[in-house]
Structure 1
Amino acid sequence: MTFQTEEGFPLAEIPGAYAAELGDTVAVRADADVLTWAELHRGSNRVARGLLDAGAATGRIVALLLPNSTDLILAVFACYKAGATPQVLSPRMKPAELDAILELGDPAVVVTEQGRVRQGHATVDDLAAGQPDHDLDAPLAPSWKAPTSGGSTGRPKIILSGRPAVTSGFDTGMWGIAPRQQALITAPLHHNAPFVTALSTLFLGGTVTLLTRFDAERTLAAIDAYDVDWVYLVPTMMRRIMALPDEVRLQYALASLRSVWHCAEPCPVWLKRKWIEWLGPERIWELYGGTEAEAGCTLRGDEWLRHVGSVGQVTWGEMKLLDLDGAEITGPGVSGEIYMRVTPGTDATYRYIGAEPTARDGWSSLGDIGRFDADGYLYLLDRRSDMITVGGVNVYPAEIEAALVEHEHVLTAVVIGLPDADTGNRLHAIVHTPERAGVTADEIRAFLDGRLSRHKLPKTVELVHDSLRDAAGKVRRSELRAQRVTELAR
């Protein structure tokens, strides 16, 4: 079909176009649930009509509180057919977190699972009930996605895509996704990279297999069972797969597999070497960039072997390094903060709701520190000092610290990341309480439970009775972390 390579084909029309050609071919599967292209087209028509009846309108956000499922994909395309922008959110969010995001996005409709319906929310089945399945005259949503981030301030922000709901070769080209591929998505679609790669596969007429929960051996079994040729992982998943006994891991042929892509957190050198030795360098790919998508790097395994530890050369947009005074760093091997911008003359790739970018003269920063080598390959030296990556998920301490100090006996709290062999980092909370209060670590954990999502709960809690601030009144997070890393090493 010609629209596969066209720029600007409406996303709302994709299910109908493929239904006419591929009909009973599977578009998406999740566990035992399967959705063909014909079913996706007819079903998304019904759900779109339900969204419109519920108040969805062109340009409005529709929040999808759904796990990886065929219903989630159905709802995403229903949003496009209603002219709305899908915003996929974790169904495990605590009420306070969810309310903060909903306040920002002001969604026209909130779609949730059966059994989790709150007042004003609806399920996919509720929306589709009694609706006809014939085609709609779909308006064009001005933005095709609206992922969220916790934000460095502890308050959420929405990263609204600058592209309307039309096809573009940008994402498929960036991720190396080809027409009619079989893709395996191992992570929840409320994260940006899994959402983009799953949808990009469908835009090109491929089949997406969604894992409803990650399991190392199950991932390998799915690759063989469905002849998967493209898979998304984060290094924590790569660790768990490599930790399988050889007799288990090597029983899977993985003959169909052409590309393994990883991102979201740094991949240890030893782990990447093992994957390259196992599958060959041509199949291992890495991507570095932000949800904002102004600029980024990609890197294949054979390039990595020549530039060990690099995340690649800049392959879209522009990047430069600035020192602490804002002066540009031009020499190789010198570290600085990474600033990005779109290629001059191209449209903005995003806008924030609830935040302002960290910007200098049209260049913006995600807070990462890095250096370039003489060949233009980028090496990440550190993440933003306050952000912790745990199992591929970025966690901002400010949000956890804000919850901690709500406790009546907590004077100050600092959350740091300590090394963890499985997830890369674990969250460690240092909590200053008066000794006379008699607060226990278990009490602190119980206090946080119900206020934060599970992945934001500190794995360890350390109680101290002296101030965490220095004479200048500052919390020296890096010093606190260094002390504890040294103690662990001992």
Structure 2
Amino acid sequence: MPHPAITAETYPHKPAIIMGGSGEVVTYAELDERSNQAAQLFRSLGLKKGDHIGMMLVNCRQFLEICWGAQRAGLVFTPISTHLKRDETAYILENCGAKLFIASHALAAVAGEILALETSAIQHFYMVDGLADGYESWDDSIALQPAERIVDEANGVPMLYSSGTTGKPKGVFLPPPSDDVNAPHPLAGTLGAVFGFGEETVYLSPAPLYHAAPLHYNMMTLYQGGTTVVMEKFDAEAALALIEEHRATHSQWVPIMFVRMLKLPEEVRKRYDVSSMQFAIHAAAPCPVEVKEQMIAWWGEVIVEYYAASEGIGITIIDSANWLTHKGSVGPALVGAVHIVDDEGNELPPGEIGTVYFSGDQAQFNYHKEPGKTAEAFNERGWATTGDVGYVDRDGFLYLTDRKNFMIISGGVNIYPQEIENLLITHEKVADVAVFGIPNDEFGEEVKAVVQPMNWADATDEVAIEIMEWLRERISHIKLPRSLDFHQQLPRMDNGKLYKRHLVEEYRGAHRDLPKTGENDTPS
């Protein structure tokens, strides 16, 4: 089944895409026709197999139609975060060598700035759901194209960029699994075997499509003839309502979404029937144990977690039953083999913390135009890492501690912010939190906490002291933040990851006295 064309032949009127907010429906016949027209347009513009395009789109039906058109034309397509500014967007477009750029009208301001730069290889500019100077209408343009499949269909691939939480984003290129468009896709087989994806699947997609997991899950749902329900923007109660309305069977979340749903009033949570859900998959960030316990108690043992990366270096997976006996784990390896390695390159025994590596021939990625960074991801044994830190237990289950770059060294003691964040997020007055290290003349670094309160009225010294005292009862004094600040909104991406780098730069570059809301005892 190379494309939705097969489903379009069998079930032309079956919903392929349903937009959660507007209720707009795209049938398989329409998806097949529009993706064919997109591929025809790409060819008419001279784009050939292996050429790159860039997309900066809000969640909309055209997003997936364009992706399928690019897939059928053998293009490398790069979705770009809608939160990026001009320079960040321009860097990605320049780095990937995009020859065509498509933007949403809602992002017309940034799109106009990109057009004005005139420094990239972009030759064609299109806009969805509106027009702006220098941009052609995407919908009007494809409407003029024939709806037949192009004669030289080829397998295209997405090339997504790392989030850039610690530096410039890197393009992760994974070659297509096969040049044969009729060959089965291995990811579809994996999702079918592990998560039960198939033509009966109704997949709720609450996250932005420009992220790796939502993009792949949506594409694979459509590949297998299921229906995907795409939320224009995540809202906790709306997500529950859509599960009930469409009897969703599958979904993919990040932990902060669980937190938002759990912090809804009890009467709101009880209002919606979520019993149709068979697999509620989550990843992208570590999930606090208490949060996951509450989700399993609410939804049942349908919560499944995996650990992976855009680089495709390996996968671990854990279902609810195994997690309840290995709380905090992201599971044993499903693809590849897990190794924990110290700074000298020695493999560590169970229980000892080190850098997480995967071995196996599945790691075929390269960072686009970054051979040095690609080489840095592998050790001398050919094992690959993305810099996460953790340990394995004696059963081979992996536990993530944090990212190596986020570790705080205070008075010679290694402190992992994720542990502190996992506790703070469970406080009833905390909506979001970031913990990181800032300079300290005596200890090298000290622990800093920045909290986004549930209600801004709680951003007071009294509440800060309350939170610190609550935390003091639950964590070692060595790990207790020396100070806690409130921010109205933390720089968290929609895939659950924090741009912690922005906070670190703000505090380390401030050159000012930091408020001492709580006092940390001397590390020893």
State the TM-score, normalized to the length of structure 1.
Answer: 0.76
Matched, 1:188 2:208: yes
Matches within 5 A, 1:258-273: 258-273=278-293
Matched, 1:370 2:390: yes
Matches within 5 A, 1:85-234: 85-114=76-105, 116=108, 117-118=111-112, 119=115, 120-123=124-127, 124-141=138-155, 143-151=156-164, 154-164=167-177, 167-170=184-187, 172-174=189-191, 176-180=195-199, 181-234=201-254
Task: Name the aligned partner's letter for residue 130 of structure 1.
Answer: L
Matched, 1:253 2:266: no
Mapped to 2, the partners of 1:370 and 1:121 lie a distance apart of: 44
Q: Specify every segment of 5 or more residues in structure 1 that has no aligned partner in the other structure, as ranges.
A: 4-9, 402-413, 424-444, 449-453, 469-479
Task: Give CA deviations for 1:111-167 in whole Å, capped at 9, x if unaligned.
Answer: 1123625434113314314212122213313x5211111447622211012234754
Counterpart for residue 57 of structure 2? 66
Find the partner of 1:278 among 298, 303, 307.
Answer: 298
Mapped to 1, the partners of 2:198 and 2:169 lie a distance apart of: 35
Following superposition, the deviation at residue 322 of structure 1 comes to 0.9
Task: Name the aligned partner's letter for residue 346 of structure 2.
Answer: A
Q: Secondary structure at the match of 1:223?
A: helix
Mapped to 2, the partners of 1:273 and 1:455 lie a distance apart of: 23
Cα RMSD for the two superposed structures = 3.4
Mapped to 2, the partners of 1:327 and 1:183 lie a distance apart of: 42
Following superposition, the deviation at residue 365 of structure 1 comes to 1.4
Mapped to 1, the partners of 2:186 and 2:256 lie a distance apart of: 29
Q: Is the 8 A contact 2:74 2:157 kept in 1?
A: no
Task: Name the aligned partner's letter for residue 15 of structure 2.
Answer: V
Mapped to 1, the partners of 2:294 and 2:280 lie a distance apart of: 13
Task: Name the aligned partner's letter for residue 8 of structure 2.
Answer: A
Mapped to 1, the partners of 2:144 and 2:345 lie a distance apart of: 60
Following superposition, the deviation at residue 465 of structure 1 comes to 7.2
Cα distance change on mapping 1:270 and 1:29 into 2, 3 Å: same
Mapped to 2, the partners of 1:278 and 1:263 lie a distance apart of: 19
Mapped to 2, the partners of 1:189 and 1:415 lie a distance apart of: 37
Task: Name the aligned partner's letter for residue 353 of structure 1.
Answer: H
Following superposition, the deviation at residue 242 of structure 1 comes to 0.6
Matched, 1:295 2:314: yes
Find the partner of 2:334 among 307, 315, 338.
Answer: 315
Task: Give CA deviations for 1:203-242 in whole Å, capped at 9, x if unaligned.
Answer: 1100001111010010000001011000111110000101
Following superposition, the deviation at residue 349 of structure 1 comes to 3.4
Following superposition, the deviation at residue 416 of structure 1 comes to 9.0
Counterpart for residue 345 of structure 2? 326
Cα distance change on mapping 1:194 and 1:43 into 2, 3 Å: same
Matched, 1:351 2:366: yes
Task: Name the aligned partner's letter for residue 132 of structure 1.
Answer: P
Following superposition, the deviation at residue 91 of structure 1 comes to 3.0
Mapped to 2, the partners of 1:246 and 1:194 lie a distance apart of: 28
Cα distance change on mapping 1:134 and 1:278 into 2, 3 Å: same
Q: Is the 8 A contact 1:140 1:164 kept in 2?
A: no
Mapped to 1, the partners of 2:395 and 2:322 lie a distance apart of: 11
Cα distance change on mapping 1:322 and 1:195 into 2, 3 Å: same
Mapped to 2, the partners of 1:207 and 1:465 lie a distance apart of: 49
Q: Specify every segment of 5 or more residues in structure 2 that has no aligned partner in the other structure, as ranges.
A: 116-123, 128-137, 408-416, 426-431, 439-444, 455-487, 492-496
Task: Name the aligned partner's letter for residue 151 of structure 2.
Answer: D
Cα distance change on mapping 1:334 and 1:153 into 2, 3 Å: closer
Cα distance change on mapping 1:152 and 1:235 into 2, 3 Å: closer
Q: Is the 8 A contact 2:56 2:104 kept in 1?
A: yes
Cα distance change on mapping 1:111 and 1:200 into 2, 3 Å: same
Following superposition, the deviation at residue 92 of structure 1 comes to 3.3
Q: Is the 8 A contact 2:337 2:360 kept in 1?
A: yes
